[in-house]
Structure 1
Amino acid sequence: MTTVRETIRRESANLTLSERKIGDAVLADYPFGALQTIQELAERTGVSAPSITRFVGKLGFAGYQEFQRQLITEVRESRRSPLQLKATEKLGSAGSFLADYARRATERIHEMSASVPQEQFDRVLTLLADPNRAVFLVGGRISDNIAGFLSVHLKQIRPKVHHLPPNPEHWPDLLLSIRKQDVLVLFDFRRYQRDLEHLAEIVAKQCRPSIVLITDKWMSPIARHSDHVVALPIEIETAWDTLVCAIAFAEALIVKVSEMNWPTTKDRLAAWDRLRLSPPSQPLEESDDR
């Protein structure tokens, strides 16, 4: 199902100046910015009600009510739990479940490669690879494991990488050090966490770093505070959403950040291994450049 957000962005080139103004207002507080009366939206945007009607018509809706019904459906989808997803799951044959699940996961990876532009990946990559920027990472109840995975690898590659601890009471210690030039990366998928939204709001207002949100197509509310929003596929027709795309996206970042300045990364990895309590086995042949 294509979201209203995706449709607005797809049709942006075909919109008039007034219609783009409406679209910008809807996206600025998505989806709640359009869950008001047509008169209230007209007043907020400074355009006429007929212009809003023409706007939703260009998006393919029969009227403003149908447009709002679609937004309400998206809100419901963004809050679906495993118990609700269980009612619509399609497990297929038990004898070939693993192979079928691998196929579905592969399809989600291909979907990600088609829906996330290379330019967007490169913008996030540039932020994370900049040694002058400190990087702070955190995720939700499940997705924080991916934030931790990414942070562990980034710490080996470059300095000034911080994974926020699980207890929010310990966050201020790190947040006090965030500067405007730094980066905050948040992972938040449907059944979004309010504490992460509150964190993003506070940091956006008080610290103003670049905020990168990794989320799904329904968009975490954190999107309204973010500079970069990466929407990844998570539906896989089971009671449990998949984070395979989030892991693949994180792994791709790790590979490319390490390659942005490989000589520095190489030296840091070598120093890291020398300082480990249980260093790995030495290679059979030492390089001559030591």
Structure 2
Amino acid sequence: MSEDTIAVRLREHYNTFSPTERKVARALLNQYPIAGLETIAQLAQKAAVSGPSVLRLVNKLGFDSYTGFQEALRLELDAQLQSPLLRRDPNTDAHQQGFVHHFSSNIQKLIQQTAQHLLPEDFDTVVDWLAQPRHRLWLLGGYVTGPLAEYFCNHLQTIRGQVSLLRPVPRTWADSLVDMGKNDVIIMFDIRRYWPELQPLMKLASERKCKRILITDQWTSPLAAHADITLTAYTEGKSGWDTNVATMLLMDALIAALNNVHWEQTKTRLEEIERLRQHFQND
């Protein structure tokens, strides 16, 4: 399936929409793709606009009817569940001449798409949440994204305190949830094929008034329906396996931005960490 999903189009053209159309776009992105599978009246109510406003946005996205728009969303749901066996481009051959060049060209394209379609207000809000000392941070990744969550956690722990990595074991989550509240931020990584066990965790975090950040791919995890902010990385690989390079771009950009928010405090913390590390060095 093409990476040109409805979510992609919404982000790509967001700044060209009217204020009313942006309300509809935001409602769709906040609960993607579930909000788009509801009736026109239901989506209009979520966005606090009229039914014709919904249809105007749907037309701007290239659809002649709301039915066609919803059918496209259903096709996207099918793509979310694809196995690597189905994703592999039959023209991809590891022994073909110039393989690394073609592979790196695709990676560059994914990085550009990730940066181009990132909504600045969402990025800035995430940086603000991560920077607030009163916010305790929790991170969690799945089978493939677990190491990414750990990488992000290690950087955050260097920059600030109260950062914890949740184990990817559902039966252990209640021990952390019991301590979560309105001053907590949970950051989840979920890429296709998505991890269903994360949905009850996201819902329970919502009930406990936690702020919820989702980092996902362009096909958008179902967790987006329960996230406050969704950051999207373009991950489509040509070999059958999706790539995490663009996801790393998002994390490194957040780390760099966060590092600059309270640099003097960060600098003091880093100096103290370096001093303490000296006690564990071999003579």
Check whether the contact 1:89–1:238 (CA below 8 A) recurs between aligned residues. no
Which residue of the partner structure matches residue 210 of structure 1? 211
Q: How far apart, in 1, do the equivalents of 2:268 and 2:54 lie? A: 58
Which residue of the partner structure matches residue 287 of structure 1? none
SS, match of residue 105 in structure 1: helix
The 1:202–1:247 alpha-carbon spacing in structure 2 relative to 1, beyond 3 Å, is same
Residue 142 of structure 1 deviates from its aligned partner by 0.7
Q: How far apart, in 1, do the equivalents of 2:129 and 2:71 lie? A: 38
The 1:73–1:281 alpha-carbon spacing in structure 2 relative to 1, beyond 3 Å, is same
Which residue of the partner structure matches residue 259 of structure 1? 260
Residue 188 of structure 1 deviates from its aligned partner by 0.7
Which residue of the partner structure matches residue 163 of structure 1? 165
SS, match of residue 231 in structure 1: strand
Which residue of the partner structure matches residue 194 of structure 1? 196
Deviation per residue, 1:115-142 (Å, 9 max, x gap) = 1133332221111111121111001211
Check whether the contact 1:89–1:239 (CA below 8 A) recurs between aligned residues. no
Which residue of the partner structure matches residue 149 of structure 1? 151
Q: How far apart, in 2, do the equivalents of 1:266 and 1:15 lie? A: 43
Q: Which moved more, 1:7-16 or 1:219-228?
A: 7-16
Q: Which amino acid counterpart does residue 214 of structure 2 have in structure 1?
A: L
Q: Work out the percentage of aligned pairs sharing the same amino acid.
A: 32
Q: Which amino acid counterpart does residue 83 of structure 2 have in structure 1?
A: S
Check whether the contact 2:114–2:234 (CA below 8 A) recurs between aligned residues. yes
Which residue of the partner structure matches residue 285 of structure 1? none
Q: How far apart, in 2, do the equivalents of 1:155 and 1:43 lie? A: 42
Specify every segment of 5 or more residues in structure 2 that has no aligned partner in the other structure, as ranges: none
Q: TM-score scaled to structure 2, two decimals?
A: 0.82
The 1:115–1:43 alpha-carbon spacing in structure 2 relative to 1, beyond 3 Å, is closer
Q: TM-score scaled to structure 1, two decimals?
A: 0.80
Which residue of the partner structure matches residue 96 of structure 2? 94
Residue 230 of structure 1 deviates from its aligned partner by 0.7
Residue 204 of structure 1 deviates from its aligned partner by 0.3
Which residue of the partner structure matches residue 250 of structure 2? 249
Check whether the contact 1:273–1:280 (CA below 8 A) recurs between aligned residues. no
Residue 81 of structure 1 deviates from its aligned partner by 1.4
Q: How far apart, in 2, do the equivalents of 1:50 and 1:123 lie? A: 31
Higher Cα Rg, which structure: 1
Check whether the contact 2:30–2:230 (CA below 8 A) recurs between aligned residues. no
Which residue of the partner structure matches residue 271 of structure 1? 272
Q: How far apart, in 2, do the equivalents of 1:188 and 1:15 lie? A: 31
Q: State the Cα RMSD in Å.
A: 3.2
SS, match of residue 194 in structure 1: coil
Structure 1 segment 41-60 matched on structure 2, within 5 A: 41-42=40-41, 56-60=58-62
Q: Which amino acid counterpart does residue 104 of structure 1 have in structure 2?
A: N
Number of matched pairs: 277
Q: Greater relative contact order (Cα 8 A, min sep 6): structure 1 or 2?
A: 2
Specify every segment of 5 or more residues in structure 1 that has no aligned partner in the other structure, as ranges: 283-290
The 1:262–1:73 alpha-carbon spacing in structure 2 relative to 1, beyond 3 Å, is same
